């Protein structure tokens, strides 16, 4: 194995520590024939295991809150799925032990799910995790998951399941390294939220020997196996240097020659505001309002409740720009009252703006709440719609905003290639564009953003994605309107320079990335960013694009 490995750095900082692997071994219980007398007891054991695992997952969800809660609750429902449990009981009735019946019933269900299209196939990892938990409980062995350790360690995994990561102790986990996953995977999002360094998509990560000391650089994506004293010092020195540069850079986002690129924060609700202010965000570039709905058990919060939450965010940025995205439900964020339950392919179904146009009262309530929240505040409120496909979508959204009498600019997210390709026509209806590069990558490459096996397509350095960004930015410039980026692409400091070079007018990201982006942008002139952008677009792969931009930006 090479001593220096390279993956994608998704959470800044350096960690040096022993590699400890996530316990993912599949426990296959022996097949033993039970006697007729044992059947009732084994069936009862299976039911108890299902109840206990569901209760444990629900409790973990309650403790974790936020996005993780929804995922964990869905897993708790898998543990109690009536059809699965009926199958387990049937298998016990013909002579299986409880643990073997669980193992076999889940295997049958897994095969069904794995063959049922990419979206459901993405749930297989969650199902396996539930099976492992039930089997471990029945066998009386430790639960799979994060290793028990009193010493801090670097966690190694194929990818991380939300059930394991939601309750990680940040004082013990120095950093993450995963073999799969991309910048938008659970591992990456969690690492950034915990503020620990992380490298994802590292080939061979799961073959790193248990206990070997490794050095992880979450900025460059480099992992050094068994670093000697000199290499350790070098890793720490470059991390210190970056940290010092980050701390030295203050104020509004701009290139070294003063070209302004406002740096805004992505927030999911009032709870994210303190970190955004601390990082010096100039406003909010993406307020993901669906979390108010998801956190509320998937029901529609009243206008009064919505008004209160919106106002708290608006008040935090007096004179600042706050871009509120109207409810983006569906696909990976389904809401029972809005999302059709019978779509074979929810990512291509009625989601985002499509859901709202089929339930206009939900959109009207949201706009009403926003209007009330902004009353009397000196804030620049802007609203935007997710998943806009074409000019007709943009017109429909702008019309509802006008009818609601909202004194806010209306804009649209560019998340579908169709909207980027026809950005000028879309801009005839609205005032601004905001590029959602996470979904734009998903739909450009037909690659589910939740699926580890296709995560290489989630790399926002893909030249095809850069082309679509350039098209959108050029269209906005021609129309005299703005075009920001609010997808994860904006949080990669070097890519942020490339985006500025492509003509993007603002960058919005999770608060923890903001100081790094500010510092990097301040190191280069606009002309240098433009050269890096041209060099990246002239390549044929994400890897080459990264290398080409690095050559331009570090050769200066
Ligand atoms: C995106 O798709 O890039 C985006 C910002 O929206 P979300 O990640 O919430 O889908
Ligand atoms: Mg999106």
CATH assignment at residue 15: 3.50.30.10
Q: Tell me which residues have their CB closer than 6 angstroms to ligand 1.
A: 286, 288, 328, 415, 436-439, 486-487
Residue among 265, 234, 258 at smallest CA distance from 500: 258
Q: What is the 3-state secondary structure (H, E, C) of 472-510?
A: HHHHHHHHCCEEEECCHHHHCHHHHHHHHHCCCCEEEEC
5 contacts 222 by C-beta, under 8 angstroms: yes
Question: What pLDDT band is residue 160 in, cutting at 50, 70 and 90?
Answer: confident
Contacts of 380 (CB under 8 A, 6+ apart): 283, 319, 320, 321, 322, 409
Same domain for 185 and 149, yes or no, is yes
With H, G, I as helix, E, B as strand and everything else as coil, classify residue 53: helix
458 contacts 448 by C-beta, under 8 angstroms: no
Three-point CA angle 533, 536, 542, nearest 5°: 135
Domain that includes residue 109, residue range: 36-139
Same domain for 346 and 460, yes or no, is yes
User: How large is the average pLDDT for residues 310-314?
Assistant: 95
532 is a domain residue: no
The answer on pLDDT for 214 being more than 60 is yes
Distance between Cα 322 and ligand 1 center (Å): 16
How many angstroms separate the CA atoms of 119 and 71, rounded? 14
The answer on pLDDT for 117 being more than 90 is no
The rounded mean pLDDT for the chain is 89
Q: How many CB atoms lie within 10 A of CB 345?
A: 12
Q: Which atom of ligand 1 is nearest to the CA of 486?
A: 5
pLDDT reported for residue 185: 65
With H, G, I as helix, E, B as strand and everything else as coil, classify residue 521: helix
280 contacts 518 by C-beta, under 8 angstroms: yes
549 is a domain residue: no
227 is a domain residue: yes
Distance between Cα 415 and ligand 1 center (Å): 8
Distance between Cα 52 and ligand 2 center (Å): 35
**Which domain CATH number covers 458?**
3.20.20.60
Choice from 66, 70, 186, 288 to test ligand 1 binding pocket (greatest atom count within 8 A of CB): 288
Same domain for 17 and 49, yes or no, is no
260 is a domain residue: yes
228 is a domain residue: yes
Number of domains present in the structure of the chain: 3
543 is a domain residue: no
Same domain for 349 and 485, yes or no, is yes
pLDDT in tens, 350-397: 999 999 999 999 999 999 999 999 999 888 999 999 999 999 999 999
Q: Which atom of ligand 1 is nearest to the CA of 184?
A: 8
pLDDT in tens, 412-461: 999 999 999 999 999 999 999 999 999 999 999 999 887 767 878 888 99
Closest protein CA for atom 4 of ligand 1: 436
369 contacts 303 by C-beta, under 8 angstroms: yes
Choice from 328, 355, 443, 491 to test ligand 1 binding pocket (greatest atom count within 8 A of CB): 328
Distance linking the first and last C-alpha atoms of the chain: 34
Residues with CB under 5 A from ligand 2 (ion): 415, 436, 439
194 is a domain residue: yes
How many angstroms separate the CA atoms of 371 and 123, rounded? 39
Same domain for 313 and 432, yes or no, is yes
pTM summary value:
0.69
Is the model more confident about 501 or about 340? 501
Closest protein CA for atom 6 of ligand 1: 436
pLDDT in tens, 456-486: 888 899 999 999 999 999 999 999 999 999 9
DSSP per residue, 58-75: HHHHHHH-HHHHHHHHHH
Q: What is the 3-state secondary structure (H, E, C) of 327-381?
A: CCCECCECCCCCCCCCCCCHHHCCCCHHHHHHCHHHHHHHHHHHHHHHCCCCCEE
Same domain for 282 and 357, yes or no, is yes
Distance between Cα 438 and ligand 1 center (Å): 5
| Domain-ending residue, one of 91, 111, 139 | 139
Same domain for 104 and 223, yes or no, is no
Same domain for 425 and 285, yes or no, is yes
51 contacts 85 by C-beta, under 8 angstroms: no
Question: What pLDDT band is residue 35 in, cutting at 50, 70 and 90?
Answer: very high
Q: Which atom of ligand 1 is nearest to the CA of 488?
A: 3
User: How large is the average pLDDT for residues 266-286?
Assistant: 91
Same domain for 281 and 409, yes or no, is yes
| Domain-ending residue, one of 208, 228, 245 | 245
Burial track 80-100 (b if 16+ CB lie within 10 A, e otherwise): bbeebbebbbebbeebbbbbb
Same domain for 476 and 501, yes or no, is yes
pLDDT in tens, 16-25: 999 998 875 5
How many angstroms separate the CA atoms of 311 and 293, rounded? 16
Just list the catalytic residues. Answer: 186, 486
**Which domain CATH number covers 65?**
1.10.274.10
Same domain for 132 and 17, yes or no, is no
What are the beta bridge partners of residue 8? 200
How many angstroms separate the CA atoms of 255 and 525, rounded? 5
Residue among 198, 204, 316 at smallest CA distance from 267: 316
| Domain-ending residue, one of 245, 274, 291 | 245
448 is a domain residue: yes
Taking phi over 0 as left and psi of -120 to 50 as alpha, with beta for the rest, 345 belongs to: beta
Q: Which atom of ligand 1 is nearest to the CA of 286?
A: 5
The answer on pLDDT for 26 being more than 70 is no
DSSP per residue, 392-418: HHHHHHHHHHHHTT--SEEEEEE-SHH
- Write out the H or E segment, with its range, that includes residue 303: helix 303-315
Q: Which of 168-182, 386-400, 460-474, 488-502 has the lowest mean pLDDT?
A: 168-182
How many angstroms separate the CA atoms of 477 and 424, rounded? 10
Choice from 292, 415, 484 to test ligand 1 binding pocket (greatest atom count within 8 A of CB): 415
Closest protein CA for atom 8 of ligand 1: 438
pLDDT reported for residue 169: 77
Same domain for 448 and 338, yes or no, is yes
């Amino acid at each position: 194995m090479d001593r220096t490995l390279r993956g994608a750095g998704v959470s800044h900082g350096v960690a040096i520590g022993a590699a400890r692997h996530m316990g993912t071994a599949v426990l296959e219980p022996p097949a033993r024939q039970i006697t007729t007398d044992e059947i009732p007891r084994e069936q009862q054991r299976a039911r108890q295991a299902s109840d206990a695992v569901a209760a444990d997952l629900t409790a973990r969800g309650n403790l974790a809150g936020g996005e993780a809660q929804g995922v964990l609750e869905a897993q708790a429902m898998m543990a109690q799925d009536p059809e699965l449990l009926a199958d387990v009981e049937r298998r016990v009735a013909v002579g299986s032990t409880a643990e073997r019946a669980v193992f076999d019933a889940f295997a049958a269900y897994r095969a069904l799910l794995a063959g049922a299209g990419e979206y459901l196939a993405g749930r297989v990892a969650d199902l396996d995790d539930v099976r492992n938990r039930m089997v471990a409980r029945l066998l009386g062995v430790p639960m799979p998951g994060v290793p028990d350790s009193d010493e801090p360690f670097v966690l190694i995994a194929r990818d991380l399941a939300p059930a394991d990561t939601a309750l990680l102790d940040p004082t013990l986990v120095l950093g993450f390294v995963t073999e799969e996953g991309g910048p938008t995977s659970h591992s990456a999002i969690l690492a950034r939220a915990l503020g620990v360094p992380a490298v994802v998509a590292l080939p061979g990560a799961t073959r790193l020997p248990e206990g070997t000391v490794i050095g992880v650089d979450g900025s460059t994506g480099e992992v050094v196996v068994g670093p000697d004293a000199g290499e350790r010092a070098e890793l720490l020195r470059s991390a210190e240097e970056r940290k010092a540069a980050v701390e030295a850079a203050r104020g509004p986002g701009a290139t070294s020659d003063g070209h302004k690129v406002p740096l805004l924060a992505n927030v999911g609700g009032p709870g994210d505001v303190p970190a955004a202010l601390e990082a010096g965000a100039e406003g909010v570039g993406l307020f993901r309002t669906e979390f108010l709905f998801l956190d509320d058990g998937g029901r529609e919060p009243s206008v009064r409740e919505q008004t209160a939450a919106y106002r708290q965010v608006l008040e935090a940025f007096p004179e600042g720009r706050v871009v509120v995205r109207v409810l983006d439900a569906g696909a990976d964020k389904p809401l029972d009252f809005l999302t059709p339950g019978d779509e074979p392919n929810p990512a291509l179904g009625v989601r985002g703006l499509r859901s709202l146009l089929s339930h206009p009262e939900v959109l009207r309530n949201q706009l009403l709440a926003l209007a009330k929240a902004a009353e009397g505040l000196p804030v620049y409120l802007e609203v935007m719609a997710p998943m806009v496909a074409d000019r007709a979508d943009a017109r429909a959204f702008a019309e509802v905003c006008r009818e609601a009498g909202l004194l806010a600019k209306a804009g649209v997210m560019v998340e579908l290639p169709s909207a980027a390709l026809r950005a000028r026509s879309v801009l005839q209806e609205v005032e601004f564009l905001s590029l959602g590069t996470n979904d734009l990558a998903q739909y450009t490459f037909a690659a589910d953003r939740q699926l580890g096996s296709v995560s290489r397509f989630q790399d926002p350095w893909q030249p095809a994605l850069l082309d679509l960004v350039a098209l959108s930015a050029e269209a906005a410039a021609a129309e005299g309107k703005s075009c920001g980026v609010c997808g994860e692409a904006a949080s990669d400091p070097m890519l942020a320079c490339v985006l500025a070079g492509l003509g993007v007018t603002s960058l919005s990201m999770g608060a923890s990335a903001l100081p790094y982006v500010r510092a990097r942008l301040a190191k280069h002139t606009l002309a240098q960013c433009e050269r890096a952008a041209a060099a990246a677009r002239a390549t044929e792969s994400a890897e080459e694009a990264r290398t080409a931009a690095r050559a331009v930006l570090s050769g200066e």
